[in-house]
A and B are shown apart, each in its own frame.
Chain A
């Protein structure tokens, strides 16, 4: 059984069809790259996969269950999502923002400290823990939000252009984390404009155009 299934999914907002009758599936442990021009519906598709938008038609299933029937806490345990640009939280410290990755998900948190130590090491944010978010550069902020997303420990992680504000070092950190995640049997789906990365490392590449997966 596929981990995530999209069955004839469409999304209509403000009179515009962002996603049009998409049927696709992702298995556990796969890396899916979603590529396509600006405005083609990639972010909307990712939001539907994350259960953050309600499809106008069709259904999204996670582990065979309708995403729309899952509670937010349960959903946050099963899937993590990071948007294209994450605003605000300026006055919170990095440690406080990271803590949100585990605070609201369902289930036990006995290994919370070791999970925190691990993602802090992977995303190299050890020296930033007490800093307020407004003091960080765009790339540092993005690494903090990636670490927060990883902390959810979800089976599928959905990332919308996670590399857009990262420098070469940051991209290398991100790619290493994604590889490690997939190697551990977790699934990652990400929107990117880096076709080289998509073609060389992804198990599936979905080319999106006008709300449809035209190649995939």
Chain B
């Protein structure tokens, strides 16, 4: 193993974990110095925990999708996982299932799973996934799913309407410990699967047939990866809505420092994905306080320029695969 890579990984992880600690502490106390510890515990703490879990899930899912499909543009919001999870949440809410609940998380998981299966089936031929078809299929599934969200919205009860409004904009404002309970266990299972298959995702960059020739069951690794992606993304979407760019930008940015090996990339993505979303939520609460802007707007404002810079560098180097 490359010693300098290990060293870089350790350094980056240390910086990331320390930064997460700082943002976590700042998020708990900023602007709330005069409130009781109980309010900090019951309102602020679940919110920060959820930003870390959701951010970690989105970034790891993005890294996995890019790895298994060998496509640097693959991300949960682009291949349709986020939108189909959102469709599951809105249909569930229309059926009376409350936000921040485990049943709604499962609705998201089911619809996101169906969406991903459909996209993969459309983009596959003779066991090979066509990258362009994957992205175009994802875009189509996203539009279809967002149409389902709109169609379901009139059926959502007046009591749930306020929650729906926050959720549809992408916000952690309504985060509770029940939301954490709905998201975290499934996300942890997703993380365990992702880290478990990480080293076997690497040779998939040679294509599934070449990976099979090396002794890697490309189909099985891809199936595990897709299950992990759904578990990492969909439950979070049902609680906080769609947050774009995290899954796209975080793995890309980290590849510049750590290279493409998923054994290092995915754990680092978990830390920095959590850090990015926690920071974005902190900014969204404090930039125009007491007004709150949607956290998805902050991640897009930061993520889009960063991604464009990374994209430009990839084009200049002529590297458009993982």
Contact = CB atoms under 8 A, between A and B. Distances in A.
Q: Do A and B come from one complex?
A: yes
Interface of A: 13-14, 47, 50, 52, 72-73, 75-77, 80-83, 86-93, 95-96, 100-101, 103-106, 134, 152
26 contacts: A13-B126, A14-B126, A47-B209, A72-B212, A72-B215, A72-B217, A76-B213, A77-B215, A80-B213, A82-B210, A82-B213, A83-B207, A87-B206, A87-B207, A88-B70, A89-B205, A89-B322, A90-B205, A90-B322, A91-B259, A93-B259, A96-B259, A100-B203, A100-B214, A134-B319, A152-B214
Contacts of A72: 212, 215-217
B202 A52 contact: no
Contacts of B259: 91-93, 96
A104 B321 contact: no
Interface in B110-144: 126
Nearest to B217: A72
A152 B2 CA distance: 21
B261 A96 contact: yes
Contacts of B260: 91-92
A75, A77, A89, A92: most-surrounded residue (chain B CB, <10 A): A89
B206 A76 contact: no
A73 B215 CA distance: 4
Contacts of A89: 205-206, 321-322
A87 B131 CA distance: 13
Contact of B213 (A52, A96, A134): A52
A88 B212 contact: no
A91 B322 contact: yes
B94 to A, nearest CB: 43
Contact of A106 (B203, B215, B319, B320): B215
Interface string B246-279: 0000000001000111000000000000000000
A28 B280 CA distance: 63
Interface string B190-228: 000000000110110111011011111100000000000
A50 B216 CA distance: 14
A88 B202 contact: no
Contacts of A73: 215
Contacts of B321: 87-91
Given A92-B205, A92-B260, A134-B318, A104 B215 contact: yes
Contact of B203 (A75, A95, A104): A104
B158 interface: no
A86 B215 contact: no
A134 B259 CA distance: 13
B210 A103 contact: no
A100 B213 CA distance: 11
Contacts of A80: 213
Contact of B200 (A95, A96, A101, A104): A104
Contacts of A83: 207, 209-210, 213
A162 to B, nearest CB: 14
B317 interface: yes
A197 to B, nearest CB: 23
B255 A91 contact: yes
B199 A103 contact: yes
Contact of A50 (B70, B203, B213, B215): B213
A93 B255 CA distance: 13
B213 A91 contact: no
Nearest 5 interchain pairs by C-beta: A76-B215, A104-B215, A81-B213, A91-B260, A88-B205
B210 A86 contact: yes
A13 B125 CA distance: 11
Contact of A86 (B200, B207, B216, B261): B207
Interface in B290-309: none
B207, B210, B217: most-surrounded residue (chain A CB, <10 A): B210
A138 to B, nearest CB: 13
A52 B214 contact: no
Contacts of B261: 92, 96
Nearest to A83: B210
Given A14-B126, A90-B320, A134-B319, 9 more contacts: A73-B215, A76-B215, A81-B210, A90-B321, A91-B255, A91-B322, A92-B205, A93-B2, A134-B318
A104 B205 contact: no
A88 B319 contact: no
A50 to B, nearest CB: 6
A92 B319 CA distance: 11
